[in-house]
């Protein structure tokens, strides 16, 4: 009974202690999966690398063979688990959030774990946040499924898992919260925001307990910029916006070009390209941390930075474009830091004698990230958390806004995640009515005051209707017609003739939301559905009429 009361409480779109506690639990589960994922990568790399994610110590032949061999294993594993389960990463999570309340297929997640780990271990230019987001959403949705929670609560908990995944990947809990609201859910609601915030904190703390509190940009020193840098920052932002557009356009071009090929040859081609780039430029291998380290240690070596930038750009485009499992954010961060460091050379003309390479590296990351992902607020928050420097806020805002607006308005750039979803034919947009109704579980609004009659005798049905008040619905059941709503047909009633009208009822699970009932009734714009217990389909819990849904949409929509 306590679990049933919990489900009914969570069906309402309101902040509650129960939802907050479940958000923490979802964050812990997600963090556990991501810690296991990261430990797998670290422990395996320690076997053959002197330093984590640094492939420069390997021989040229080893750098070539490592990605090729990993691509073959990834292809074999994908074949054994089924290619249909090979839609991965943040775009797929966005689709599942919008269309399936965040429920994630199991085999899909298995592919993400092992495929992503192999890709990162072998030096592909992909990020760990893609698998982390995927696994975080899976762990949280599995918790909701085990407890048979309403789908609206499951969607919130899946968002908690995503936030914990991002926070555990980059040690940026606040940026993780903003990323979920801005990119994944694409809405801001307080009752969703609070548990997601707790889950992000939980994910960050759990990861810090295992890996320490180091952050990706800890090596970079941020120097305050004078006002005279700001005109040049506008130029930098415009340049980053153009580069983000070119990056997205070329990534989609590669995806479209190689679409006719099956998965196996695509992955092998990706391995050969990654191996060739690793053979020539080992610094371009890995998720992006090595590129940040090089930009920090060798900010004056223009030739080296340009070489790494071009090589890593190609490595990232072909790895993601050809289907290697992994994220996009990590490489984009590395590319942004290198671009910003290169832009700092001209900044020395503004303020000679001042070391601003680190500051421009951070600003390059912020601008490229914002314009590529269409996530300006998440990018700004990430910069603030990764640098712990208040002096970076105003310059970062200037670069982010300029890069974002340039990419959007001048070039017509769109979020790379949404472009990937459009190409794959995966839906991520729902109507405002559906979006509002998805937030409310049907148990919160169903009418539980009804009478259920197992009979098909008209006299018995008439007697039952006579004994009921006009507000209590009568549900009748027989083997031939199933569940129907019985009521007097007022249009055809007379003293001599009393007709009973029957309305066929379709059933929805007690986990359903008002959106599911809306989908059943929207074509007829009338009728009702009955709500059955998911453990016992013959146990009717309540009834939901079309008029109730219409009232919620037209009168109470502001409360959702």
190 and 219: one domain? yes
Of 82-86, 247-251, 549-553, the poorest mean pLDDT is in 82-86
Residue 74 lies inside a defined structural domain of this protein: yes
Q: CATH no. for residue 526?
A: 3.10.580.10
Q: Which residues pair with 528 in a beta bridge?
A: 545
Q: Tens of pLDDT along 79-123?
A: 777 655 456 789 999 999 999 999 988 878 888 899 999 999 999
Closest CA to 18 of 29, 31, 32, 7: 7
pTM: 0.90
How far is 248 from 415, CA to CA, in rounded Å? 8
Determine the Cα angle at 155 with ends 549 and 559, to 5°.
Answer: 40
User: Residue 151's pLDDT band (boundaries 50, 70, 90)?
Assistant: very high
Residue 48 lies inside a defined structural domain of this protein: yes
333-371: burial string, b at 16+ Cβ within 10 Å, e else = bbbbbbbbbbbbeebeebeeebebbbbbbbbbbbbbbbb
Strands 506-509 and 500-504: unpaired
Terminal C-alpha separation, the chain: 27
Instruction: Show the domain range for 43.
Output: 2-429
Q: Tens of pLDDT along 300-358?
A: 889 999 999 999 999 999 999 999 999 999 999 999 999 999 999 888 777 776 778 88
454 and 409: one domain? no
Q: What are phi and psi of 537, to 5 degrees?
A: -65, -15
Give SS3 for 1.
Answer: coil
How far is 341 from 322, CA to CA, in rounded Å? 29
Return the percentage of the chain with pLDDT > 90, whole number.
56
Report yes or no: 385 and 215 within 8 Å, Cβ to Cβ: yes
Residue 437 lies inside a defined structural domain of this protein: no
Residue 170 lies inside a defined structural domain of this protein: yes
Number of folded domains in the chain? 2
- pLDDT of 559 strictly over 50: no
- pLDDT of 267 strictly over 90: yes
DSSP code at position 406: I
Q: Tens of pLDDT along 368-417?
A: 999 999 999 999 999 998 888 888 999 999 999 999 999 999 999 999 99
Residue 434 lies inside a defined structural domain of this protein: no
Q: Tens of pLDDT along 523-533?
A: 888 889 999 98
Q: For residue 477, give the H/E element and its range.
A: strand 474-478
User: Residue 251's pLDDT band (boundaries 50, 70, 90)?
Assistant: very high
The gap from C-alpha 27 to its chain's centroid, in whole angstroms, comes to 14
**Higher pLDDT pick, 522 / 88:** 522
354 and 421: one domain? yes
Residue 312 lies inside a defined structural domain of this protein: yes
449 and 416: one domain? no
**pLDDT at 85 (0 to 100):** 47
How far is 30 from 196, CA to CA, in rounded Å? 12
User: Residue 501's pLDDT band (boundaries 50, 70, 90)?
Assistant: confident
User: Residue 1's pLDDT band (boundaries 50, 70, 90)?
Assistant: low
**Higher pLDDT pick, 461 / 91:** 91
pLDDT, mean over the chain: 88
**pLDDT at 479 (0 to 100):** 79
Q: Tens of pLDDT along 27-38?
A: 999 999 999 999
- pLDDT of 512 strictly over 90: yes
302 and 403: one domain? yes
**Higher pLDDT pick, 537 / 372:** 372
Dihedral of CA 226/231/236/241: which sign?
Answer: positive
Closest CA to 395 of 431, 363, 361: 363
Residue 258 lies inside a defined structural domain of this protein: yes
394 and 529: one domain? no
Task: Give the tokens for residue 29.
Answer: 């589960």
Residue 435 lies inside a defined structural domain of this protein: no
User: Residue 215's pLDDT band (boundaries 50, 70, 90)?
Assistant: low
Report yes or no: 163 and 31 within 8 Å, Cβ to Cβ: no
CB atoms within 10 A of CB 314: 18
User: Residue 496's pLDDT band (boundaries 50, 70, 90)?
Assistant: low
What would the mean pLDDT of 6-16 be, rounded to a whole number? 90
**pLDDT at 41 (0 to 100):** 94
**pLDDT at 497 (0 to 100):** 56
What would the mean pLDDT of 150-168 be, rounded to a whole number? 94
314 and 336: one domain? yes
**pLDDT at 217 (0 to 100):** 66
**pLDDT at 196 (0 to 100):** 95
How far is 528 from 517, CA to CA, in rounded Å? 8
224 and 255: one domain? yes
59 CB contacts (<8 Å, ≥6 apart)?
none
**pLDDT at 50 (0 to 100):** 87
């Amino acid at each position: 009974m306590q679990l049933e009361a919990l489900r009914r409480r969570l069906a309402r779109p309101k902040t509650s202690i129960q939802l907050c506690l479940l958000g923490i639990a979802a964050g812990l589960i997600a963090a556990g999966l991501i810690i296991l994922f990261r430990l797998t990568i670290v422990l395996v790399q320690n076997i053959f690398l002197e330093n984590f994610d640094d492939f420069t110590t390997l021989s040229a032949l080893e750098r070539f063979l490592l990605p090729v061999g990993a691509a073959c294993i990834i292809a074999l594993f994908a074949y054994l688990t089924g290619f249909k389960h090979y839609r991965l990463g943040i775009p797929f999570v966005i689709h599942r959030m919008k269309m399936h309340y965040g429920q994630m297929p199991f085999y899909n997640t298995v592919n993400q774990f092992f495929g992503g780990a192999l890709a990162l271990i072998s030096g592909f230019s992909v990020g760990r946040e893609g698998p982390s987001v995927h696994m975080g959403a899976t762990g949280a949705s599995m918790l909701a499924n085990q407890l048979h929670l309403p789908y609206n609560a499951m969607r919130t908990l899946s968002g908690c898992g995503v936030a914990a995944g991002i926070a555990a990947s980059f040690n940026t809990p606040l940026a993780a919260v903003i990323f979920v609201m801005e990119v994944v859910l694409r809405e801001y609601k307080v009752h969703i925001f609070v548990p997601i915030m707790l889950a992000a904190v939980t994910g960050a703390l759990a990861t810090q307990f295992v890996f320490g509190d180091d952050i990706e940009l800890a090596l970079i020193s941020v120097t305050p910029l004078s006002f005279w840098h700001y005109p040049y920052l506008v130029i930098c932002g415009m340049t980053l916006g153009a580069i983000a557009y070119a990056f997205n356009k070329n990534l989609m071009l590669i995806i479209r070009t190689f679409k006719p090929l099956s998965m196996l040859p695509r992955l092998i081609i990706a391995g050969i390209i990654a191996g060739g780039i690793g053979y020539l430029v080992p610094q371009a291998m890995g998720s992006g941390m090595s590129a940040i380290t090089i930009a920090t240690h060798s900010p004056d070596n223009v030739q080296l930075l340009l070489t790494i930038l071009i090589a890593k750009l190609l490595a990232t485009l072909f790895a993601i474009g050809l289907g290697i499992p992994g994220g996009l954010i990590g490489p984009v961060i590395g590319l942004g830091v290198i671009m910003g460091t290169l832009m700092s050379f001209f900044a020395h003309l503004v303020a000679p004698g001042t070391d601003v390479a680190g500051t421009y590296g951070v600003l390059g990351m912020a601008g490229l990230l914002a314009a590529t992902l269409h996530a300006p607020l998440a990018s700004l928050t990430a910069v603030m958390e990764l640098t712990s420097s208040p002096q970076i806020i105003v310059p970062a805002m200037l670069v982010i806004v300029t890069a974002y607006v340039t990419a959007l308005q001048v070039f017509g750039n769109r979020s790379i995640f949404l472009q990937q979803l459009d190409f794959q034919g995966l839906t991520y947009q729902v109507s405002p009515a559906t979006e509002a109704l998805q937030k409310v579980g049907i148990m919160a609004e169903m009418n539980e005051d009804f009478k259920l009659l197992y009979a098909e005798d008209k006299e018995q049905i008439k007697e039952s209707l006579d004994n009921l008040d006009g507000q209590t619905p009568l549900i009748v059941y027989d083997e031939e017609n199933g569940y129907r709503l019985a009521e007097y047909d007022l249009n055809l009633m007379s003293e001599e003739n009393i007709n009973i009208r029957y309305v066929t009822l379709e059933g929805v699970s007690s986990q359903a939301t008002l959106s599911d009932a809306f989908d059943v009734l929207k074509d007829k714009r009338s009728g009702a559905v009955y709500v059955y217990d998911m453990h016992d389909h013959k146990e009717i819990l309540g009834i939901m009429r079309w008029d109730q849904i219409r009232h919620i949409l037209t009168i109470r929509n502001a409360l959702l």
